[in-house]
Amino acid sequence: MQTLGEALREAVALLSAGDSDCARLDAELLLCEAAGTTRARLIAWPERTLHPAQHARFIDLLERRAEGEPIAYILGRREFWGLELALSPETLIPRPDTELLVECALQALPAHRPIVCADLGTGSGAIAGALAHERPDWTLIAIERSAGAAAVAADNARRLQLRQMFVVRADWMNAIAPGSLDAIVSNPPYVRDDDPHLHRGDLRFEPRTALTAGESGLDAIRMITKLAMDRLRPGGWLAIEHGWDQGDPVRRLLRQAGFENVNTHHDLAGHERVTSAVGRDAYATTNLARQFPVIA
């Protein structure tokens, strides 16, 4: 039987020969998963032996990673904003850059008012969950078109006991009544259909419909900016994540839709990543009551 240390060394060598850019960390996470231990114990007691069933499990996980499958899908979870989220291949993998969207909302909106905020294209529920965790006085409407992704988001909300987060299966804002929201946040698809990165790394395994948005990558953002003003209450707030080179067209779309105070926020790498704006003081249609089709 192999020791943990021996198995780890062989795994690092295997993953280093592939396209993994963090072979040591990946190997440690997979070994801990198979052995039912922690990284601290792995480092402290590398002489501990793997049982045959644990070793077989480790080899299976390791082969999946060597073939390029994202570590988050293999483990079925990913941390975002300090919360451990369940994932599936039907959800995008939450990334650190998206935490900027959460930061913008927390800074822009009053903490202790009963804010009603929609997270469009919620996926695993990462953004809505982070905001619900930080702001217990807010109501988060997590909207997702994919049935599989919506089920994952609903499971995360239940497991994390985010009782003011409601998952709604719908296509963007079709289930939202005019003038019923104080805020909208979204990390929509914004990758161009022909972007070569779609054939590299983790993106090869992620749901294409949650990544791409037409020839320019702006189809989803264009739809959101077209509908958002009508769904927001007077003076409502909107923030959208976008590609590093899409700041200018996103600002233009928001201004064309009638939004004011349009500002773009930079990620840790200095790239334009999130653009926010404020709606007009009045909206065009009547505020109609609407029952949310909540996924239990």
Instruction: Measure the CA–CA gap between 235 and 281, rounded to whole angstroms.
Output: 5
Same domain (yes/no): 136, 254: yes
| Residue range of the domain that includes 33 | 4-68
CATH of residue 235's domain is 3.40.50.150
Helix (H) or strand (E) holding 74: helix 71-75
Q: What dihedral angle (degrees, nearest 10) is formed by the CA atoms of 195, 202, 268, 211? A: 50
Same domain (yes/no): 107, 212: yes
Going residue by residue through the chain, which has 296 residues, state the pLDDT in tens, using 9 for 90 and above.
899 999 999 999 999 986 666 899 999 999 999 999 999 999 999 999 999 999 999 999 999 999 999 999 999 999 999 999 999 999 999 999 999 999 999 999 999 999 999 999 999 999 999 999 999 999 999 999 999 999 999 999 999 999 999 999 999 999 899 999 999 999 999 999 999 999 998 899 999 999 999 999 999 999 999 999 999 999 999 999 999 999 999 999 999 999 999 999 999 999 999 999 999 774 443 333 333 444 43
The per-residue pLDDT for range 164-188, each reduced to its tens digit, is: 999 999 999 998 999 999 999 999 9
- What percent of the residues of the chain are helix, what percent strand, and what percent coil, each to the nearest 5? 40, 20, 40
Residue 17: what pLDDT?
Answer: 83
Same domain (yes/no): 169, 225: yes
- 74 in Cβ contact with 64 (< 8 Å): yes
> Residue 222 falls within a domain, yes or no?
yes
Q: Which amino acid is at 101?
A: L
Give pTM, 2 decimals. Answer: 0.90
Same domain (yes/no): 96, 59: no
Same domain (yes/no): 158, 39: no
> Residue 16 falls within a domain, yes or no?
yes
Same domain (yes/no): 270, 159: yes
Same domain (yes/no): 103, 58: no
Q: Of 198, 98, 207, give the one whose Cα is nearest residue 146.
A: 207
> Residue 48 falls within a domain, yes or no?
yes
Instruction: Measure the CA–CA gap between 165 and 52, rounded to whole angstroms.
Output: 43
Same domain (yes/no): 98, 13: no
CATH of residue 62's domain is 1.10.8.10
Same domain (yes/no): 33, 99: no
Same domain (yes/no): 152, 61: no
Q: Of 91, 184, 82, give the one whose Cα is nearest residue 138.
A: 184
> Residue 54 falls within a domain, yes or no?
yes
> Residue 246 falls within a domain, yes or no?
yes
> Residue 196 falls within a domain, yes or no?
yes
> Residue 85 falls within a domain, yes or no?
no
Q: How many domains does the chain have?
A: 2
Residue 249, CA distances (Å) to 170, 252, 259, 275 in order: 26, 5, 14, 11
- 80 in Cβ contact with 103 (< 8 Å): no
> Residue 79 falls within a domain, yes or no?
no
Same domain (yes/no): 124, 236: yes
Name, in order, each residue with C-beta under 8 angstroms of 148's C-beta and a sequence gap of 6 or more: 88, 90, 91
Q: Is 217 helix (H, G, I), strand (E, B) or coil?
A: coil
Q: Of 142, 123, 145, give the one whose Cα is nearest residue 133.
A: 142
Using CB atoms within 10 A of its CB, is residue 289 exposed (0-12), middle (13-18) or buried (19+)? exposed
Same domain (yes/no): 106, 152: yes
The per-residue pLDDT for range 74-123, each reduced to its tens digit, is: 999 999 999 999 999 999 999 999 999 999 999 999 999 999 999 999 99
